[in-house]
Amino acid sequence: MKYLEEKELVWLNSLLSSYDIGDRVINGRIEAFSCKKTNSDKKLAKSLESHYQQEISETHYSPCAFDNSDNVEHNASEKLKDTKFDLSKSYTRILPSAQSIGALRDVATRKLLIDLITTMNATFPDYDFSGVRIEQFYKERSSQIALNRLNYHLAEMMDSIASKEALEGINESLFAEKMWNAISTIIQPEECEVYSYIPDMESDPFSDGNLWSINYFFHNKRLKKILYVTCMCKSITCEDMDDEDEMMDDVTEDTTEEDIDDTAEDYFGMSNDWEDGA
């Protein structure tokens, strides 16, 4: 997917990239992409299509493995009945507003799945989402439902920003206004089909220590664009631990045996020559 530089998003992303709210920190971004595939996207799409075809072939088109649209919808509904909703852990729940994106045997569904995966890969280049399963994506029944949920999760952040703006003599929150105006201008959500992503608890950046995460893809077929909205909330403690882990990784990568010897000499007041009886 070709990344689109949207000036309306620059200021928003500068705030969303890391915003502290008491003992928590929100990390998010809003990025726009053209549905035109890059060369690397085409290569990945070919690989994924081959994998999906093999998966379909191995099941011999078994209706038990690949349901038709009605059965997929039914299975999604049954799953919803067994789901306990917890607003503090949004990445673990599937809301009643969501439905399956379709059956893997359908060409259009596979194309959509590949587009969503390549969008995530483009947004998070340090991760590979090619192994994400089709059942981790859901179609929202309306764009307004997705916008309302986004507003719910960011409400505390918006209130915090509004309070700071009020101290500066600004009566209305520029952040909220700019965010909704930007989304409306760039993607025209009323024309979009909206998809959500439910992370795997063990294998991606949205699950490691997060209190909640939200992932929405606003797909405007007429404009041939996708707006990807992703936000994660972590505790400050967890964030600090991540920073310490990164520092330790850097130390480990850059440390040589000579550095270790020098450290031992400084710490113990002796050189490693004692091993030779010196």
SS3 219: strand
In this predicted structure, what is the pLDDT of residue 223?
96
Helix (H, G, I), strand (E, B) or coil at 101: coil
Distance CA 40, CA 32 (A): 18
* Within-domain flag for 273: no
In a domain, residue 192? The reply is yes
Total domain count, the chain: 1
Q: Has residue 36 been placed in a domain?
A: yes
Output the tens digit of pLDDT for each of the chain's 278 residues: 899 999 989 988 988 988 888 888 999 999 999 999 889 999 999 999 999 999 998 875 555 544 444 444 444 444 444 433 333 344 434 455 678 899 999 999 999 999 999 999 999 998 899 999 999 999 999 999 999 999 898 888 888 888 877 777 665 567 788 889 999 999 999 999 999 998 876 656 666 678 888 999 999 999 999 999 999 998 887 555 555 444 444 544 555 555 545 544 443 344 444 444 44
CA geometry: angle at 191 spanning 30 and 125, to 5°? Answer: 30
Question: What's 202's domain CATH number?
Answer: 3.40.1000.50
Q: For residues 125 and 204, is the Cβ–Cβ distance under 8 A?
A: no
**117 neighbors 129 (Cβ within 8 angstroms):** yes
Domain membership of residue 256 (yes or no) is no
Describe the chain by its helix, strand, coil percentages, rounded to 5.
50, 20, 30
Domain span at residue 154 reads 2-236
Cβ contacts of 70-78, under 8 Å, gap ≥ 24: 72/100, 72/102, 72/103, 73/99, 73/100, 75/100, 76/100, 76/138
Instruction: Write down the pLDDT at residue 68.
Output: 45
| Structural domain includes residue 263 | no
Side chain identity, residue 50: S
Run of H or E including 181 = helix 174-187
Would you say residue 17 lies in a domain?
yes
Give a yes or no: residue 80 inside a domain: yes
261 in any annotated domain: no
